[in-house]
Amino acid sequence: MNRLITAYMLVCCAVFFLPSPGKSATLTMIPDPQGTASISGYVVDSTTKETLISATVSIKGTKLGAFTNKSGFYSVKSIPAGKQTVVISMVGYSRKEVTLTFGEKESKTITFSMQPQDMQTEGVVVEGDRDIEKREITISKVNIPIEQLSQLRIGGESDIFRSLQYLPGILTSSQISSGLYVRGGSPDQNLVLIDGSTVYNPSHLFGFISAFNTDAIKDVELIKGGFPAEYGGRLSSVLTLTQKDGNQNEFEGVASLGAISSRLSLEGPIGDGSWFIGGRRTYLDLIIGLLPDDPENPLPNFAFYDLNAKISQNLGSNDKIFISGFMSDDDLSLKGTGVEFNVGLGNRTGAARWTHIFSEDLFSVVNLSASRYKNGFDANNAGFEVEASNSILDYTLKANLEWFASDVLTVKGGTEINRFTFNYYQNFTGDRDSTSPTGSTGRGTTNLEINDWTYSLFAQGNYQFSDLVSMQAGLRGDYWKLSEIGTVDPRLALRYQWQPDVAFKAAWGIYHQYLRLASNPDFSFFDTWLPTDSTVQPSRASHYIFSVETMPFDGYDFNVDLYYKDLTNISELNRFSTNAANVTDVFFSGNGEAYGVEFFLQKKKGRLTGWLGYALGWVYSTFDSINGGARFRPKYDRLHDFKAVALYRLNDTWEIGASFSFQSGQSYTAMTSWYQTSLPGESTDAGLSVPGQRYGYRLPPSHQLNLNVNYNFTVFDLPARLLLDIYNVYSRRDIWFRYYDTTKERPTVTDVRLLPILPTVSFEVKF
């Protein structure tokens, strides 16, 4: 154990040489003033004993303080000896003040409990947050309380991903897609973590809702760019989800009956800790099973479920262990009218996490996880049969050490080891494929199995030079055994406090991605995950971000972000490859760039909460083998993006909410001409359409208004809610996609439109 601690300390400290203002000497650590004290511990919910993330612990009348980390741990140093008032605060909880007496060089370990407070109640401004944030630099990060996210309902379902789509700079491929296209990046460029485990497909089939049940999640953090060295393996963003630990005091549960699915979650104490289990299932397949069969007009059979579970235990005051799991499954099938297909996908994750406090300023997390994603598709269409499957199995070991060196210096370092197994299979059999431009027979088999290891090290530090200037610097190294490629990714962020309520931030970093995904942005039917082998180079991105963060009024935040992202070696699926031997046979490789500006006004407290956001952005891609090598916009590019969300509590009984979005139309490839040819005496065939520039045209703008009303009451002395949700209030049926029918004498253009107005009612009860 001593060797492990020593190794981590060397990783954390070796790369940091921080200059002190006005001095030429190199500074490696900042010692505490003589005679000062320290305090550390956890912040928990007083009702459930659940640890709280991003709570503020500060010393009143000073600029000393800290945020709790992902484990709910805090550490404050350099506290003057004597009587001090410790202030604990967090949005959604009653502010707490505790008077303590500190002796010289005394270290206190205290767990603070906070009383939940009505989110809509006007509260005291969280003092000290701005002083703490000077050191703990966050850029392009969005924290929206889970209570607000759960109030945003689409089709009667609260959904994390659908809620995040109402933030500026996050695009969608359509109004029914839960995929996140962050600042010009595709969904595979987002690192999605749940309790430290990677989730490779966070959506249910059709993409209408994500695979995460909001009842099971206690914290959501999205970093839209410039993320620190702690995170790697993705080009665009990081989304970290933390599951509920469970109620350590008493048993409780929530049951919900909705139009799309029903949910049930249960939690309670066990040993010196807690447990939680939550599940959700649709019942569309059960309803269809009661209807009579109609071979001429068959109905698709669709079902999904997801399940979350977690057990936590306290092993004394310094150790906690957590065992958590997540699983989801989707099945879609259709049989009739000469068409038969089956689609299935599933996620499985499991994690064991151990947190340990070595001292009041040294905290560690070790996480061992496994994640499996599997997707399969088979179809038979008039004798043409296709079968395809793709899976990825990921075993990961992560170990991080966080050192709260002083009130101005925090250092974090760690390692990550991954063991991957990839499988990709496709088989085509049948008659001549008339859709292939090469006139191929439509026969071919691809069967790839790839095993690989990846190794990563990172170190990062946050240092506050003065009350005005602070810096976050980091370095990440990755090595991929299969391709024998190593990369070094530097990251840097700076913060300047120009005025008490105005701060300037800037970030730069290099990011590499090892995995590649190809999928259809219109349908979440089949995703293809493959690694970087010796035939291709890893994808690479450079982030440049400048941000202005202000507090124009009490309780309001207003931020402006400018960004530029340069992308190289990104991938597009080669749709005409039927016999692949390596990764370069499956994907085209190209380059891209994304840049724009975002405006975000947010209000977190009071009866009225919500936000306004607007983004202006450009996205371009260039592939030698696509569009004749000319630059083009990806399908999901949308120039203008406006979002508005408002949640208002009338009283203890009634709550109302609204969400509105307006976006430029998505890009599509138009047909420029069409012709038929035939030999003398033969009938003409369906002809051939000639496409124009790839995604060179735009569909009409997309906009939509959703409303929801919540009525709170009691049933048998149990708190309950009746929820009315109106999706697409003015029934604006946006175009999903456009296609051309060339089987007629004159080609016709057909628009497939999305859902009309859809009112739904759901019922929820707590017990």
CATH of the domain at 392: 2.40.170.20
If DSSP codes are grouped into helix, strand and coil, which group holds residue 444?
A: strand
Q: Last residue of a domain, which of 112, 129, 146?
A: 129
Asked whether the CA dihedral 170, 171, 174, 177 is positive or negative, the reply is: negative
| pLDDT(251) > 90 | yes
Over residues 138-157, the pLDDT tens digits come to 888 887 777 777 777 766 67
Q: What percent of the chain has pLDDT over 90?
A: 39
Over residues 700-716, the pLDDT tens digits come to 998 999 998 999 999 98
Q: Provide the b/e sequence for 330-361 (b: ≥16 CB within 10 Å).
A: bbbbbeeeeeebbbbbbbbbbbbbebbbeebb
| pLDDT(86) > 50 | yes
pLDDT confidence tier of residue 382, bands split at 50, 70 and 90? low
Q: Does the residue 184 lie in any domain?
A: no
Q: Which residue has the higher pLDDT, 383 or 666?
A: 666
* Shared-domain flag, residues 384 and 530: yes
Over residues 317-339, the pLDDT tens digits come to 899 999 999 998 888 777 766 66
Position of tokens 């990783």?
11
* Shared-domain flag, residues 260 and 408: yes
Return the beta strands (E) in 430-484 as ranges.
Answer: 444-464, 469-480
| pLDDT(193) > 70 | yes
* Shared-domain flag, residues 696 and 549: yes
Contacts of 208 (CB under 8 A, 6+ apart): 154, 155, 176, 177, 178
Q: In total, how many domains does the chain have?
A: 2
* Shared-domain flag, residues 116 and 265: no
Query: Is 81 within 8 Å of 104 (Cβ atoms)?
Result: yes
Give the pLDDT of residue 686: 55
Query: Is 704 within 8 Å of 673 (Cβ atoms)?
Result: no
Pairing of strands 107-109, 37-45: parallel
pLDDT confidence tier of residue 684, bands split at 50, 70 and 90? low
* Shared-domain flag, residues 122 and 248: no
Q: Does the residue 164 lie in any domain?
A: no
Query: Is 450 within 8 Å of 403 (Cβ atoms)?
Result: no
Beta bridge partners of 623: 590
* Shared-domain flag, residues 256 and 375: yes
Q: Does the residue 182 lie in any domain?
A: no
Query: Is 158 within 8 Å of 149 (Cβ atoms)?
Result: yes
Q: Does the residue 269 lie in any domain?
A: yes
| pLDDT(122) > 60 | no
**CATH code of 106's domain:** 2.60.40.1120
Q: Does the residue 467 lie in any domain?
A: yes
Give the pLDDT of residue 634: 86
Give the pLDDT of residue 155: 61
Question: Which tokens hold the place of 141?
Answer: 């990060």
Give the chain's mean pLDDT. 82
Q: How far apart are CA 176 and CA 166, in angstroms?
A: 13
Beta bridge partners of 154: 157
Q: Does the residue 157 lie in any domain?
A: no
Q: How far apart are CA 235 and CA 226, in angstroms?
A: 10
Would you put residue 703 in left (φ > 0), alpha (ψ -120 to 50) or beta? beta
* Shared-domain flag, residues 306 and 446: yes
Q: Last residue of a domain, which of 83, 102, 129?
A: 129
Distances (CA, A) of 329 to 164, 420, 522, 540: 23, 21, 20, 32
Q: Provide the b/e sequence for 557-578 (b: ≥16 CB within 10 Å).
A: bbbebebbbebbbbbbbbeeeb
* Shared-domain flag, residues 122 and 246: no
Q: Does the residue 493 lie in any domain?
A: yes
Over residues 310-319, the pLDDT tens digits come to 999 999 889 9
Give the pLDDT of residue 744: 67
Query: Is 224 within 8 Å of 141 (Cβ atoms)?
Result: yes
Question: Which tokens hold the place of 464?
Answer: 């506050």
What is the separation of C-alpha 379 from the centre of its chain, rounded to a whole number of angstroms? Answer: 32
Q: What percent of the chain has pLDDT over 70?
A: 82
Q: Last residue of a domain, which of 108, 129, 150?
A: 129
Give the pLDDT of residue 661: 92
What is the separation of C-alpha 100 from the centre of its chain, rounded to a whole number of angstroms? Answer: 40
* Shared-domain flag, residues 478 and 329: yes
Q: How far apart are CA 268 and CA 284, in angstroms?
A: 31
Domain span at residue 86 reads: 34-129
Over residues 610-669, the pLDDT tens digits come to 899 999 999 999 998 888 888 988 888 889 999 999 999 899 899 999 999 999 988 888
Contacts of 746 (CB under 8 A, 6+ apart): none
